[in-house]
Structure 1
Amino acid sequence: MFEDFSAQSTPSREACLAALESADVYLLLLGPIYGHVFPETGQSATHDEWVRAQQLGKPRLVYRKVGVRFAPEQQDFSRIVEAYATGVFRDSFSDSAELQTKVAQALRELESKPSPLDYKRLTQQPALTWIAEDNRIHPFNNSQEFLLELHVLPMDSPGYSAREMSQFSDSLVKRVRSTEYFESGRSLDLSKSQDCAVVRIGSGRRSAWDKPQSWEIREVLLHKTGQISTRATLPVDGLGSILDAEALPRQIAEMLRLTGALGIFQQGRVVVAVGVPSKMSLSVDTFDPHRSRTRAQPLGFGSSVGVYRTEPDESVSLAALEAGADEVGRDLSRALFAQLPV
């Protein structure tokens, strides 16, 4: 609660979301009132926290108060929370004593659960599409800006018929917007071909080549094969893009969770892989959001490799796109760094 925070120089919203990041579990109590709508986000503080908890892959426990009349805005928020594809199953409560008992039981169950991730060895190499190497997709891309690409391919998928591809393509912008990963002011532009649909996401910041900038997701691609790809900028400063060993696992995990939040994969297993083109302006270093580096050693010098990428030899359960995203992000990051010249 706001009253539990001491005086801080950090903006209130930033302080609350930072506190959420340090939490083990996100507990949401739905009462009748939605709360104040902040002009910066167009939604309440609680709604902000819900979106961030989903992005971070936090375990979410939701309890709805019974016997009260929900305001229209709160009813709309409840539908988002309970959405089949991207929400959670929720419980209810009538008073604090019942709530305490239910929450305590839920926490014990969470603690005793085994890891949701389940790996299985692949018997053959999956047919992944690497965007930087696919001439059919290049017209949609700006290869100077988009660097990191993450791919999720469903196992044993026959792909989509022309009719199915058309339906998914038409709904892709709505699916990306409904994840609430992007501010309402950011543009979403759809491009389509027979083999691929691409949603390009406008930048959420002003361009400043001489100032450090953190990473951003800039594209979501749906392939006719069933593969979903996301492309993102890397952290960048005046000397180019940076592969940061600490930041990269978190970036990959968030891209995985965005893929899951689209609600396209409902069951089965997936193969995941990550890659980055060998560019002259790319280097391995530590990103400092407050100042640019004074020197860098680019990876692209003398390299004959087109894309540094992981080669998957296992499939994984869909938990990789939510609760297990952090673990998979760390594994993929280590595997990618192992491909780099040292």
Structure 2
Amino acid sequence: MKIFISSARRGLEEERDSLKGLISALGHTPVRFEDFSAQTTPSREACLEALASADVCLFLLGPKYGHVFPETGQSATHDEWVAAQVAGMNRLVYRKLEVEFEPAQLEFTRIVQAYATGVFRDSFTTTSELQTKVVQKIKELEVGTSPLAFTKLTVPPDISWTLETKGINPLADNNVTLLELHVLPLGFAGHSDRELEQFGASLVDRIRTTGLVKGDVALSLSRSRDHVAVGVPSGRPRSWDAPQPGELAEVRLYKTGQISARATLPRDGLGSILDPEVLPHQITGLLKFIGALNIVQPGQIVVAAGVSCNSQTSVDRFNPHQSRRSAQMSHLSNLTLRTEADESVTLAALGTGAKEVAGPLSRALVRQHPSAR
């Protein structure tokens, strides 16, 4: 495994230096910014590229927040935390005790500790204590056990579906096929009006922090009695028949705690495409995106997906470089595909286990479409 070590160096010099040899002795590859050779790319960009190639990201939280980059208004460690979070990477977090934290580092630590999906957190006082805990955790990762645990449901969950609701998004009313993904926490008392208002005020910033939406895209916030929603405008293709990948269209948070992400399917001049190879990747990305919003609390969740099809939606292969010349269209003008929500799963479904959850959901949706039979 490649293990990326992320922290400010000041205040953690001894710990960072000790981990390099420890990880190597365990037969894995440590990745630290101290070991980077001279590069033409900026240091921040080089660190993020190195993180993206790693299998595990190990975060050390010490007294110092670190240099703030003007591009993001955050430290390198904070940027790396967001990148690892959005990617759904395995993250190991160790907080140093008995030291005084800077105010900015205290706030960053609060953000890290508030996030529960797929993250292992611990603390240490001495370097030897840290080494012992890191060895134990790396050996657990070597076993490669699934982070997911499924539980059969005895009562159907009350999921809010909007696939057949007109006016919910102008794309759906213009014959654009929408993919809908829902995450519902079980045993959750729900959000109060005050909490929903607070989440509404921060939802746009949470979406932008994930990096899924570019900073210059204008997001629209709306609210009803039972939910808040953020709409994402569709990107304009080069021409009417140019292939266009699927993209996020809306995020919705309900008082019940349910979070729904709506996205377009890939499409070209002949219509929308339900691609058995692309769909699992799209659902995996949406699961990790919902996890990266930092709203879902610890506990079991239910995940469900659906697609609102029309006569121009077909099961086919999407080529991002060339539009199709023919397609097998359905004789049905409107068709709704839904997965059966008959089991709950642990929060790892929104991080390290997202790919494993997305596969069955995708296959279930594709099987239901007439052109797949």
Question: TM-score, normalised on structure 2?
Answer: 0.72
The aligned counterpart of 2:20 is none
1:220 maps to amino acid: V
CA positional deviation for 1:60? 0.4
Q: Residue 280 and residue 303 in structure 1: after superposition, are their counterparts in 2 closer, same or farther (change >3 A)?
A: closer
Alpha-carbon shift at residue 129 of structure 1 (Å): 2.6
Does structure 1 residue 322 correspond to structure 2 residue 354?
no
Go from structure 1 to structure 2 and tell me whether the alpha carbon gap of 1:37 and 1:234 turns closer, same or farther (over 3 Å shift): farther
> Shift of residue 130 of structure 1?
2.1
Residue 277 of structure 2 aligns with which residue? 246
Contact preservation (8 Å) 2:315, 2:369: no
**Selected match of 1:82 from 86, 91, 113:** 113
Distance apart, 1:149 and its partner CA: 0.4
Counterpart CA distance in 1 for 2:121 and 2:244 is: 37
Amino acid across the alignment from 1:311: E
Determine the C-alpha separation between the residues in 2 that align with 1:261 and 1:62.
Answer: 16
Rg (Cα) greater in structure: 2
**TM-score, normalising length from structure 1?**
0.77
- C-alpha change, 1:118 and 1:94, in structure 2 (3 Å) is closer
Please state if 1:293 is matched with 2:297: no
Matched, 1:193 2:221: no
Partners of 2:80 and 2:87 lie apart in 1 by 10
Gaps of 5+ in 2: 1-31
CA distance 1:146–1:29, shift in 2 (3 Å): farther
Q: How does 1:218-297 map to 2 (within 5 A)?
A: 218-289=249-320, 291-297=321-327
Unmatched runs of 5 consecutive residues or more in structure 1: none
Tell me by how many angstroms 1:255 deviates. Answer: 1.7
C-alpha deviation, 1:132, in angstroms: 1.9
Identity of aligned residues (%): 48
**Partner deviation per Cα, 1:268-299 (whole Å, 9 max, x = no partner):** 4332211111134433333344x122424154
Provide the alpha-carbon RMSD of the alignment. Answer: 3.7
Contact 1:85 1:261 in 2 (8 A): no
1:48 partnered with 2:79: yes
Cα 1:322–1:283 change in 2 (3 A) is same
Structure 2 counterparts to residues 5-154 of structure 1, below 5 A: 17=48, 19-30=50-61, 32=64, 34-35=66-67, 37=69, 39=71, 41-64=72-95, 76-84=107-115, 89-92=121-124, 99-112=130-143, 114-134=145-165, 138-139=167-168, 141-143=170-172, 144=174, 145=176, 147-154=178-185
Give, in whole Å, the separation in 2 of the partners of 1:244 and 1:140. Answer: 22
2:158 is paired with a residue whose SS is: coil
Match of 1:333 among 342, 347, 362: 362
Counterpart code for 1:37:
F
